[in-house]
Structure 1
């Protein structure tokens, strides 16, 4: 693919020379045009007069392109509001003084319910650092008690359209204790408390990384030892199969996902899917776009599309999923991980535009969904900021999940459609979904900082009306808009449908345009550094 060199301007004014593929070319200069979709400089979000294709000359300046929307894309999973969901550290259950996962956290309950439905994964490194202590007093570091699980159950029952993947300690890290019997006892109580909202148990976290500095007690572990047990640094251990059997004996009809492998080690998830076919209902793996091994995080690097490493990982998982007949899910994912270094990249508006592409890339390659990991830090990749058990911020990344969820706001499911976008040097991506309610949703994601996009959508079926809702940031220019961390982190406003999301999930966004569809065509202007959700019916 042809590449260009462009001087990229970051929020701090520094410049570097970078080579990027044509679709991923990010030009962080001044905003070139005022958008009638409120995508530039925090412009008006009011309604606009209907614009039909033969009136396209009245559109703001933008690069013309055509998007052909065709039939359903083969080998993809059914999409619904649960497709793009959340992952949390298990430590959020038991270490928050305010009981983060408790029935009194009405803000968090509101934010989850505002997304319609979801799949909440309780996992992360703290899965392997907490000992099941059934008689414990609760809210105690290093322990998970019946009180903690009961609080969590009361919380999730207030989010009735959410299911749970629940992590169980395997590694016994940092002085914690794990065993098949403890796992079975915890699983039995979790199943009793969560009832039908329990989707699956996940045993351990990133077992392909066991034996490193975080789990030196497992030094010498191999895939076979993880699976079937054997001798490691701490002595003889039980394997995943022994843990799963103990849980299955304690919980009638227990369902398992796994192995929750890191994307850094090739083959673990694939081998697990083959060896454990019939024992698991979901293959799980993790993915982050960078671990700082080669370069510091940058907005331009984050927005580079497509992410070829992600595509390769998804293709491998899709292949083994089809062979084993088991769906797969990236159940822990995000951009640049670490609690401090990503500040100014992972916690700004650019992350919302990145996440739109990230979500749809998963859909294109057959994933049954993904879970954005949430560490709560507003200086990092958090979806929802929190401190001491209290919700403190609706982060820019949350807006991407809200944007996606509106496709399924009426409860319908959907199918990804094949699309073809005419070539240009503008950093625009586009996707389409046909829903069971009869509507077609088109997403146009414009990461380009210099150019608007005038996209003529060519449908393969008749339609009469299109409405447009825009995801946009505020700022004096495109660079400021991309680097805007939002109002909860000393930034400016971020809106979807002309409205911000409140701490309790309240949101009153509405379409900002209504357009006529003529001869199965409609043209939409999408301003620089904004995304448009177009509902066509």
Structure 2
């Protein structure tokens, strides 16, 4: 095994390094040559410059929506929540959870852009972002895979010592028309070096496009290179779309029985491979919604393969924006983001997403398996500009994440695509122009910090939906019990203040005669707030007064002084009154131990110095970079994530070229 010792080199954009950087060749005002003559939003390439160029990518769109009107009738602006102090007296608690509940899903084909060029050149911003989660949760989970895992092959070497290469000459009916991927062991050493710096754990994808010629090398080599830092291997991605995609030449009639038999071939291949040390780390079936999980359970899938499964996985996006992403492909009318904005600003959204999976979550417990939402975000086919990159998405994800935890999911992976999606938790800059000098962190990223601190690091946190405020969909609340005692309360306010209305006060009582306990309200509680001026805000987002910064302003570290509010309680009345602004979310720490156990005293960051290197050009398929996965939703109860689901997206064609400046920076930890 390779030794992983600093110094490690990090990729930096030229603008960070100022005058010491050589001139670089930049294509199309930002590294994009589009054969159709237009950028993602349909702006002609000849007219794109400066701010227009930035807005041409959905990741940097200038769409700001109008916050929905206040509900009529309004929910109560003052209400009480009575909680037992002991978990034994609280019904309907979830299974125990870990703080790393929210992780990140990264399409295999965009690893170079997001994580690093190779094992020696890591993105420092990526490391910093992972550290903000890992230092709160104890670790952070990252999934590498998606549609592109199905057409990926580990090879001994590539020209010019490349880590990954796209073969445009091979057409395997890839679901996103992404070229076949070749990658080397350097790909795995890249992840190992990340794990040597940040406590990151990995899920890796094994291809299932050809079960006559198994390609298990990624598992063989990852077991040796990454060891215990590999959590599992996703065998196949969205098999319920194999027939529609024609993946590997499969017929349109491909069904559950066909998949059942082919999955058995994969399991047998893994079990019979002496180079794979871990035989029972499989993540499957990763259905996207064309088939229900029950349609597999009913034919004996779990009974047959449970000994090999570690995680039972599904993938789901609540909505799709395919008609806008692929105009002219007959995908129906384009959805106006303003029309669906209110749908995300309600507790009913998270409840409706998890409802079809409640039965399977229970079955997973019977088999003693984790049940994970392996890929998700606001909307497939790139999300909705103004919705997916708004503060509303952060509140939606907080509520959705806690609802999944309450519903006995074991975790969820927020998907990261390319420049042409608006839902990214974080996006590296597309060029080396001085105009674009840092990363862009989306509001949804803040939900990962909220969830990490809400669930803590003890691995004992159990969640309950409180149906707060008479079950109002605009003011949901959750209680989190840790080590069998009340530790935290999470309160969400989806409303935006209008004419002085929208904020609310929650009066929390703990213990008391009503639950057969002694009064247990402490003398004071501490509260962290997730805040922004409105649900439509895209830049001014803070977590406990700290921020990653706005567009092109993030280096992955939180800036500003952390502010934790102290609220005095009335122990005689056994009450604490917690105000929740509109909009916002409050995390109430019932004890100082509950707060200190999930709030890091310091977060490891990665300072850099730099030298220069000549520019290089890397050819990347536009679909892989701009759309990667998460390409389609559906109108049915289980929305899909790729072309070919209900209302699935059509294909894209062409190639693009990015002008990348290989600027090296030594890492000092």
Short-chain TM bin? 0.7 to 0.9
Partner of 1:472: 531
SS in 2 for 1:182: coil
Judged with a 3 Å threshold, the aligned counterparts in structure 2 of structure 1 residues 413 and 247 are, in CA distance, closer, same or farther, namely farther
**Deviation string, structure 1 residues 248-291 (Cα, Å, up to 9, x no partner):** 76324552111111134213564543431211111011111112
Judged with a 3 Å threshold, the aligned counterparts in structure 2 of structure 1 residues 296 and 386 are, in CA distance, closer, same or farther, namely same
SS in 1 for 2:381: coil
**Deviation string, structure 1 residues 427-450 (Cα, Å, up to 9, x no partner):** 100001123496611111000224
Range with bigger deviation, 75-84 or 65-74: 65-74
Judged with a 3 Å threshold, the aligned counterparts in structure 2 of structure 1 residues 496 and 148 are, in CA distance, closer, same or farther, namely same
SS in 2 for 1:284: strand
Query: Are 1:114 and 2:167 an aligned pair?
Result: no
Kept in 2, the 8 Å contact 1:498–1:512? The answer is no
Partner of 2:416: 374
Kept in 2, the 8 Å contact 1:228–1:241? The answer is no
Partner of 1:504: 556
Superposed displacement of residue 407, structure 1 = 2.9
Partner of 2:288: 262
Partner of 2:584: 530
Normalized per residue, the structure richer in strand is 1
Query: Are 1:225 and 2:284 an aligned pair?
Result: no
Inter-partner Cα distance in structure 1 for 2:410 and 2:396: 19
Counterpart mapping for 1:403-414 below 5 A: 403-408=450-455, 413-414=460-461
Counterpart mapping for 1:94-105 below 5 A: 98-99=116-117, 104-105=122-123
How many residues in Structure 1 have an aligned counterpart in Structure 2? 460
Partner of 2:83: 69
How does the TM-score come out when normalised to structure 1?
0.77
Kept in 1, the 8 Å contact 2:220–2:275? The answer is no
Kept in 1, the 8 Å contact 2:280–2:307? The answer is no
Superposed displacement of residue 300, structure 1 = 0.5
Inter-partner Cα distance in structure 1 for 2:509 and 2:254: 55
Inter-partner Cα distance in structure 2 for 1:164 and 1:429: 32
Judged with a 3 Å threshold, the aligned counterparts in structure 2 of structure 1 residues 443 and 370 are, in CA distance, closer, same or farther, namely same
Partner of 1:353: 395
Kept in 2, the 8 Å contact 1:180–1:246? The answer is no
Partner of 2:537: 484
2:236 corresponds, among 190, 198, 204, to 204
Superposed displacement of residue 78, structure 1 = 1.3
Inter-partner Cα distance in structure 2 for 1:503 and 1:385: 11
Counterpart mapping for 1:293-442 below 5 A: 296-297=336-337, 298-307=340-349, 308-339=351-382, 342-377=384-419, 379-387=421-429, 392-408=439-455, 413-417=460-464, 419-423=466-470, 427-436=474-483, 440-442=487-489
Partner of 1:49: none
Partner of 1:143: 182
SS in 1 for 2:470: coil
Query: Are 1:241 and 2:241 an aligned pair?
Result: no
Judged with a 3 Å threshold, the aligned counterparts in structure 2 of structure 1 residues 305 and 419 are, in CA distance, closer, same or farther, namely closer
Superposed displacement of residue 93, structure 1 = 3.0
Kept in 2, the 8 Å contact 1:103–1:158? The answer is no
Superposed displacement of residue 305, structure 1 = 2.1
Kept in 1, the 8 Å contact 2:81–2:509? The answer is yes
Judged with a 3 Å threshold, the aligned counterparts in structure 2 of structure 1 residues 279 and 254 are, in CA distance, closer, same or farther, namely closer
Inter-partner Cα distance in structure 1 for 2:274 and 2:424: 34
Range with bigger deviation, 189-198 or 208-217: 208-217
RMSD: 3.1
Inter-partner Cα distance in structure 1 for 2:471 and 2:255: 48
**Deviation string, structure 1 residues 106-152 (Cα, Å, up to 9, x no partner):** 21111111112222111211111322223233231221211222122
Partner of 1:459: 510
**Deviation string, structure 1 residues 130-175 (Cα, Å, up to 9, x no partner):** 2222323323122121122212221232222x32111111115xxx
Superposed displacement of residue 301, structure 1 = 1.3
Kept in 1, the 8 Å contact 2:319–2:379? The answer is yes
Counterpart mapping for 1:46-85 below 5 A: 63-70=77-84, 71=87, 72-74=90-92, 76-85=94-103
Query: Are 1:275 and 2:266 an aligned pair?
Result: no
Superposed displacement of residue 309, structure 1 = 3.2
Gaps of 5+ in 2: 1-62, 167-180, 322-331, 432-436, 512-518, 549-553, 592-669
Inter-partner Cα distance in structure 2 for 1:464 and 1:123: 49
**Deviation string, structure 1 residues 360-399 (Cα, Å, up to 9, x no partner):** 1101111111111111447411111124599711110001
Kept in 2, the 8 Å contact 1:426–1:448? The answer is no
Partner of 1:47: none
Gaps of 5+ in 1: 1-9, 15-25, 33-60, 173-177, 230-236, 475-480, 487-492
Kept in 2, the 8 Å contact 1:352–1:398? The answer is yes
SS in 2 for 1:306: helix
Inter-partner Cα distance in structure 1 for 2:416 and 2:367: 30
Kept in 1, the 8 Å contact 2:106–2:415? The answer is yes
**Deviation string, structure 1 residues 83-108 (Cα, Å, up to 9, x no partner):** 11111111133567952886622211
Judged with a 3 Å threshold, the aligned counterparts in structure 2 of structure 1 residues 277 and 194 are, in CA distance, closer, same or farther, namely same
Judged with a 3 Å threshold, the aligned counterparts in structure 2 of structure 1 residues 218 and 81 are, in CA distance, closer, same or farther, namely same
